Structure 1
Amino acid sequence: MENALVLIVEDEPEIVEILEAYLGREGFRTVSASDGNTGLSHHQRLKPDLVILDVKLPGLDGYEVLAAIRRQADTPILMATALAEDLDKLQALRIGADDYDVKPFNPLEVVARAKAILRRTRRSSVEPVLRVGELSVDMAAHMAYLDLQGGRRALDLTRTEFRILAHMARWPNRAFERSELVDACLPEGEALERTVDSHMSNLRRKLASAGANGILSGVRGVGYRLAML
């Protein structure tokens, strides 16, 4: 984690200065951008290890930057914004944010969240391929795919969807409660259990579209199960 590069996309210079100071003390390198277009350009050019992203930005807003990054890469993204409504958080998580912190925030907490995200993502890079029937989850490549009669079909998943699928693939046929999936797979902070239903709906649709209809199912009164086809 030492020497990891953090891109801060924030238009308030005071906040940038504080985050750079606290991250620097922990051994992070930082680069900043004060608008969405520059932030996206920095991401494409510098390939940071983590992005701390505001929502209200000149030019492209944070949601647009988040969506653009997700179309190109799976770089971990921590949203840090004054927008505190549940709908704002859900929108960011649905687009693919890894975590969400609300201003005014404690810079020590932001650093702790950044470390937790990087630990989580880097830990997954040394894990094996998990297999549940025709489904394979390659932790090192951060890919999930189905090996069917018609050939291999890759699944286009957000980081959170991949994390949920990988967690469930470790224990096939087990019923998972929503609260467990929140704790294990969703970003730290104010993750909501109903957010799991949204991610599961997207996962089921993507699995079914790829030819694995029924592999992910709801368990009445409990939560969800990933079962072999």
Structure 2
Amino acid sequence: MKILIADDDPQLVRALRITLSAEGYRIIAAPDGARTIQAAVEHQPDLLLLDLGMPGLDGIDVIHALRGWTQTPILVISGRTGAADKVEALDAGADDYVTKPFSIQELLARVRALTRRVPSNEPEPMVRIGDVSIDLTARSVVRTTGGETRHVRLTPTEWRVLELLVRNPGRLVTRQDLLTQIWGSDHVTDTGYLRLYISQLRKKLEPDPHAPRYLLTEAGMGYRLELPDGPEPSP
């Protein structure tokens, strides 16, 4: 089971890494908000331990960004002890809140409680759009035509854009969320990035890239993956 530790205190991260590794958890670490979001996308952790006061993107913003596409349990570990801070974090989507300094035994108990909610060995979804199958477990895309199956090669960034849309089928994913989660908060206005990668994905996945049926643009807002309701019409 993977735990992502998001904290800019290297000594705390080291201590948590040693303690949690001894309990059998695999540990990933991120020192700021933007890299926390990136690590969450890349590694799909089973639990996030999140400090609120990291440099760059604030912890509350990280929670909002993650809750746009994942229900991974979030345990806030923060030096902010005020009731208003706790309420804000929990309302944003955090599952639990521990204040620093904390007892390691209490932390482990809270980690166990949250990880018990994670379904074990739950298969990741396989999504099919037209003649294209997207396997989130294998991180692969294949196209089957005329009884012949071939792999569709995606760049790492193309895959990350597609994965975020696949994990939110039928729902709007805003340009700001996509840009923040993939490139970081410094690129929230770089919409040209998205247009480029969405265009490339349409060329690789859509039957007619100029009249997309699945990777749809919501004008002025973002993008949406539209899944077919039933069998595809015959050509």
Name the TM-score, length of structure 2 as normaliser. Answer: 0.50
Residue 120 (1) aligns with residue 110 (2)? no
Residue among 81, 89, 93 paired with 2:90: 93
**How many angstroms apart in 2 are the aligned matches of 1:89 and 1:121?**
23
**How many angstroms apart in 1 are the aligned matches of 2:24 and 2:81?**
30
Larger Rg: 2
Partner secondary structure for residue 73 of structure 1 = coil
Residue 69 (1) aligns with residue 95 (2)? no
Partner secondary structure for residue 72 of structure 1 = coil
Residue among 103, 107, 111 paired with 1:110: 107
Bigger share in helix? 1
Alignment of 1:1-229 (within 5 A): 4-122=1-119
Partner secondary structure for residue 97 of structure 2 = strand
**How many angstroms apart in 2 are the aligned matches of 1:53 and 1:74?**
14
**How many angstroms apart in 2 are the aligned matches of 1:111 and 1:34?**
21
Amino acid of the structure 1 residue aligned with 2:35: T
Contact 2:52/2:59 (<8 A) preserved: yes
**How many angstroms apart in 2 are the aligned matches of 1:55 and 1:111?**
19
**How many angstroms apart in 2 are the aligned matches of 1:105 and 1:36?**
22
Contact 1:22/1:108 (<8 A) preserved: no
**How many angstroms apart in 1 are the aligned matches of 2:76 and 2:104?**
13
Amino acid of the structure 2 residue aligned with 1:71: G
Following superposition, the deviation at residue 107 of structure 1 comes to 2.2
**How many angstroms apart in 2 are the aligned matches of 1:120 and 1:40?**
21
Unaligned regions of 5+ residues in structure 1, if any?
A: 126-153, 155-229
Q: Note the aligned Cα RMSD (angstroms).
A: 2.2
**How many angstroms apart in 1 are the aligned matches of 2:88 and 2:47?**
20
Contact 2:46/2:118 (<8 A) preserved: no
Contact 1:18/1:107 (<8 A) preserved: no
**How many angstroms apart in 2 are the aligned matches of 1:17 and 1:83?**
21
Unaligned regions of 5+ residues in structure 2, if any?
A: 123-169, 171-235
Name the TM-score, length of structure 1 as normaliser. Answer: 0.51
Amino acid of the structure 2 residue aligned with 1:94: D
Identical positions, percent: 39
Structure 1 runs (4+) deviating above 4 angstroms are none
Contact 2:53/2:59 (<8 A) preserved: yes
- Alignment length, in residue pairs? 125
